[in-house]
Chain A
Amino acid sequence: MPKFKLDDYEIEFSPGETVIQAAERAGRSIPHYCWHPGLSVAANCRMCLVEVMPPPGRPALSLDVLRFDEKKGDYVKAKKPKLQPACQLAASDGMEIKSDTSEHVIEARAAVQEFLLLNHPVDCPICDQAGECRLQDYWLDHSGRSKRMRDEIIHKPKAVDFGPTIVYDAERCIVCTRCVRFCEEVVGDPVLDKRERGNLGEIVLAPGRKLDHAYTLMTEYVCPVGALTAKDFRFKARVWFLKSVKSICVGCATGCNSYTDFDPRDQTVYRYRPRENAAVNRYWMCDEGMLDYQRIRERRILRARVQSDPGASATDALHKAAALLKGPGLAVLLSAEHSSEDNVSVLELGKALGAEQFFMTGRPNGEGDNILRNADKNPNRRGILNLLPTVSSLAALEKAVEAGQVTRVLALGSAVDGSADFLRKVPVVALSVHDGPIAQAARVTLPAASWAEAQGTFTNAAGLSQVSEKAVNPPGDAQPGWRWALHLAGALGVSLPFTKGSEVRARVQPRPSTAPSAQA
């Protein structure tokens, strides 16, 4: 593999890569604003300037400059090397590049930083980006001094309403055009553009349009500064209070990799952020997915419910559920909304109780596109099919209930892809997160933990199994599916092939090295 030298490090690259790409991959990041690995190169922020050493025997590209001489008290003629943007510089074999070790690069970075902050209002206290802002980070790393301009700053439009989800502040904008390029290149909806130049430059909407495509929050997320802010997250939390766990978006069957950002103090999830995965979502996520955290708290079932007895305690509900499940004609209704862990727990409980008929449901189909969004809004349909390839649909369950083959149902999940009215005819014990059609029809409903409250494995439409970590504690009496399965098994006097969460996870989670032997 060809190599180039960045400061004191040898960095390998594949032909065609730029210096910044290879450096980023090698973990020797070069500071940048406008460059984004998933977007085209604009080279307009000038933060990634590096010094390219001339080949042996060749003179360096240099510029004639005037430099202030302290001793003479006057400007003197000097030379300085012509710096080049690393994002636009194709790497070539044997190249020698100076970044952190070049005094010219260090000076240029400080100058660029000062330049970008010339007209910045420095309103970090009221800016949602504070804490994850490139301007803050790079100011500390590369500048650390106040600006020398004594003029009033250029005032530009503030709080411009870009659409239903986004607010734009032109004073904080560094006009890196990441948002413009994202809308054009990834979404294919060139709704943003740049107008004016120099210190009057700002991002504008196409006339008569709003930023209202399906990836507006991602447009906000690519913004390296606080110019674009999301209305949803606006003024809700300060990012330094938030903790992140690696999660999988459960909004659809694509299974985008995400971070769940939550406040550990009040156990509240505040947002989803995309997590890079070249095999699934690259760098992106859709609005639906990034706002999906809201669903965690919506219409939650916090206490066990018995339809005939509103005052029943959790123990009463458990015994009532056990009584309903005992007997012939038991069917298990799995949910493509839930993780494989939840599904396998309910499946094993059903098998232990002698169930022979298995059905699957989930959220109804929605809108899809050919970027990320899948029309199947269930994150784990493939996971259930892997567990149980012969599983039948909700319509088949309805027929079986009408025909009298099914006389009792153990159901998992909240939403159904069809009508759940027929479930009222038979006793149903449901493990539900939300108050949906299944919980409405069920004689006994036990509160299940949501996807953010338990570790779970989801298999996306492409067949890739991915693990989503636990972020917050389950609210109320909610518990993960395997715990309820164990409680029910205890009340019914049957034994399950697992006794703790790790054993359930071992049955479903992908383990490259040990998977074949463990499953056999």
Chain B
Amino acid sequence: MTTQETFSSAEGLGPRKVQGKPLARPDRSVGVQAFIPALIGGLGQTIGRALVNTKEMVLGTRPDPVLEAINDGINTISYPEQRRPYPERFRGVHRLTQREDGSPRCVACLCCSTACPAQCIYIEAGDYEGDKKHAGYEKYPKRFVIDELRCIFCGFCVEACPCDAIRMDTGIHPAPYDSRDQFIYEKDLLLSIPGRHGDHESANPRIEPGEPGFPGITRLQHH
């Protein structure tokens, strides 16, 4: 050992001697080794906490997780009974907004599926038929399918939409289903999901040319 050390230090290499204050050995007295005082202390804290929680639950005085987060210390959220509220611009599962008559605002332009980096949107376009208002020149999605399992929740589809027809303002994060086909959201399901304020129509009204409120001046008003 000594020879080795001498050899190493002669070369300027190898392990150097550790310099520092020696640590005190932990207390290994009988009282500590028996764990009994600590056990009692721990149980006491658990039972005390349970009592406090029960009292808060019964009286309904459980602190708000948001307000609690403002205070110092560790913030406890009793998930899933208590949930941290999502921020206003949280991108949740998609929904399709509706027009006043309940039809989808979507015009099947495929801008969202073009923008989608995960290629999770499938749209089949169709013609409005019969005496529908937009019959003849406007499209609607015959099928609108989003694979929520493939979606990466980037929000590009919402950005790309020229009609404010697809939104991610539901505040819902995708549920952990037990089979893959449950992640395939069809048009009817997407149309039925409300926004976080319970609305189905988009905040931006859709005003056709000629209707009151159409942007710009109409011929009659102008002349």
- Which residues of A does B touch, CB under 8 Å? 121, 123-126, 130, 150-153, 155, 158-159, 167, 169, 234-236, 238, 240-241
Contact = CB atoms under 8 A, between A and B. Distances in A.
Contacts of A169: 137
Contacts, number: 54
22 contacts: A121-B209, A124-B109, A124-B162, A125-B107, A125-B109, A126-B107, A126-B137, A126-B138, A130-B109, A150-B217, A151-B217, A152-B209, A152-B214, A152-B218, A158-B136, A159-B135, A159-B136, A159-B137, A235-B108, A235-B139, A236-B125, A240-B114
Contacts of A130: 109
A284 B10 CA distance: 92
A125 B164 CA distance: 12
B188 interface: no
B115 to A, nearest CB: 11
Contacts of B219: 151-152
Interface of B: 107-111, 114, 125-127, 135-139, 162-163, 209-210, 214, 216-219, 222
B93 to A, nearest CB: 23
B219 to A, nearest CB: 5
Interface centre among A126, A155, A234 (most CB of B within 10 A): A126
Given A126-B139, A236-B125, 6 more contacts: A123-B137, A124-B109, A151-B217, A153-B209, A158-B137, A159-B137
B216 A125 contact: no
Contacts of A155: 209-210
A192 to B, nearest CB: 20
A126 B137 CA distance: 8
Nearest to A172: B137
A155 B114 CA distance: 30
A343 B218 CA distance: 66
A238 B115 CA distance: 13
Contacts of B209: 121, 152-153, 155
A241 B219 CA distance: 40
Contacts of A150: 216-217
Contacts of B214: 152
Contacts of A152: 209-210, 214, 216-219, 222
Contacts of B216: 150-152
Contacts of A236: 125
A151 B107 CA distance: 25
A19 to B, nearest CB: 38
A152 B213 CA distance: 12
A125 B163 contact: yes
B126 A238 contact: no
Nearest to B222: A151
Nearest to A154: B219
B198 to A, nearest CB: 28
A130 B114 CA distance: 13
Contact of B110 (A153, A158, A238): A238
Nearest to A158: B137
B201 to A, nearest CB: 19
Nearest to B218: A152
A121 B210 CA distance: 13
A238 B111 CA distance: 9
A276 to B, nearest CB: 29
Contacts of A234: 127
A238 B114 contact: yes
What 8 A-B pairs have minimum CB-CB distances, sorted nearest first? A159-B136, A125-B109, A235-B125, A159-B137, A152-B218, A158-B137, A238-B110, A126-B139
Contacts of B139: 126, 235
A235 B137 contact: no
A397 to B, nearest CB: 46
A124 B139 CA distance: 11
A508 B222 CA distance: 71
Given A152-B219, A235-B127, A126 B136 contact: no
Contacts of B111: 125
Contacts of A167: 136-137
Contacts of A123: 137
A124 B218 CA distance: 22
Nearest to B106: A125
A251 B111 CA distance: 35
A153 B222 CA distance: 12
Contacts of A241: 110, 114
